[in-house]
Amino acid sequence: AKREGKAGYQFFSQEMNQVNMRRVALENGMRQGLARGEFYLYFQPQWDLKTLRLTGAEALLRWHSAEFGLVGPDEFIPIAESCGFIFDLGDLVLREACLHAVQWDSFFPGLKVAVNISGRQFRQPDFLETMACVIKETGVRPSSLELEFTESVIMERAEKNIHALQALKRMGVKLSIDDFGTGYSSLNYLKHFPIDAIKIDRSFIAELVTDSDDAAIAEAIISMAHSLKLKVIAEGVENDAQLDFLVDRCCDEAQGFYFAPPMAGEDFTGYVKRFSEP
Ligand code: C2E
Ligand code: CA
Ligand code: CA
Ligand code: CA
């Protein structure tokens, strides 16, 4: 038993070592990757379920590294957060998203672009200043920007955040809660915070039609959101049955592979042209 334990430990620590080595390698590779232009945004369309019109897109960061190949944001965002590189990345994301929004707004007025804001980025003392700067420099219509925050980010320093969120609202940008239902359990913040929309996490949408608990949760989220005059966006919609369920319950908007996967900026330009009014 003793020997097994030791072998188990060795295996474990070897694995840990590999994880750590990749982490350190990615961390070191990021800065160079940014300089080489390896980071860029993809855009996933969002649809209005009542008017059946395109409403906008969520910007999703991609890293196509010469060294590591395609690295997913689920892997590199947490690393960037812990080493502080998220400040540079977050800046790039904001600027790029705004520049695209300006371009699309010119032939599809009102199209919105949703941007994911990480906790560390939001907590940076000059976040509001940066936001105002980017809006001014890019000339983006503020109402075409939607910032997505997770519940935990919003709740971390609730008192401070409420002021920051109010300041963002005064700039004219929209605010939404990402991954709703997976994080903080208190719902109290919803009535105090100047939020426009909540996004039902895709973990509830996945089993929507096969799991009655998930169906009940999704239904409850939609009706609660509507009572609070918040818009609801469902993410991760992949099939007809899920869409039917959401349309039946008056969910406002949806995104997911059913409509389209995230795509490059030029491809989304084509997509917007295809679905803009003649
Ligand atoms: P998220 O904000 O929840 O983004 C939605 C994720 O679901 C995206 O993964 C998207 O590609 C994926 N997805 C879209 N439709 C479907 C579907 O129908 N089925 C399934 N199974 N998945 C779908 P992605 O692009 O890999 O991003 C993962 C996470 O990384 C994001 O989750 C977000 O938390 C983070 N992230 C991505 N871009 C950024 C960014 O620019 N800044 C920050 N701070 N975080 C980002
Ligand atoms: Ca998101
Ligand atoms: Ca989400
Ligand atoms: Ca999610």
The phi and psi torsions of 256 (rounded to 5 degrees) equal 155, 175
Q: How far is CA 36 from CA 31, 32, 33, 39, in A?
A: 9, 6, 5, 8
Q: Ligand 1 pocket test: which of 58, 116, 263 has the largest number of ligand atoms within 8 Å of its C-beta?
A: 116
**CB 45 near ligand 1, within 6 Å:** no
Per-residue model confidence (pLDDT) at position 278 = 65
What share of the chain has pLDDT > 90, as a percent?
A: 83
Average pLDDT, the chain: 93
Closest CA to 228 of 274, 271, 193: 193
CB atoms within 5 A of ion ligand 2 belong to 116, 148, 178
Tens of pLDDT, residues 173-222: 999 999 998 876 677 788 889 999 999 999 999 999 999 999 999 999 99
- The CA angle 145-154-41, to the nearest 5 degrees, is 40
Protein residue with its CA nearest to atom 10 in ligand 1: 262
Tens of pLDDT, residues 56-75: 999 999 999 999 999 999 99
Q: How far is the CA of 35 from the centre of ligand 2 (A)?
A: 25
| Beta-bridge partner residues of 98 | none
Tens of pLDDT, residues 135-149: 999 999 999 999 999
Judged by its nearest atom, the ligand closest to the C-alpha of residue 146 is: 2
Q: How far is the CA of 117 from the centre of ligand 2 (A)?
A: 8
What span, in angstroms and rounded, lies between the C-alpha atoms of 104 and 66? Answer: 30
**CB 44 near ligand 1, within 6 Å:** yes
Average pLDDT rounded to a whole number, residues 21-29: 94
Q: How far is the CA of 216 from the centre of ligand 2 (A)?
A: 22
Q: Ligand 1 pocket test: which of 60, 85, 91, 233 has the largest number of ligand atoms within 8 Å of its C-beta?
A: 60
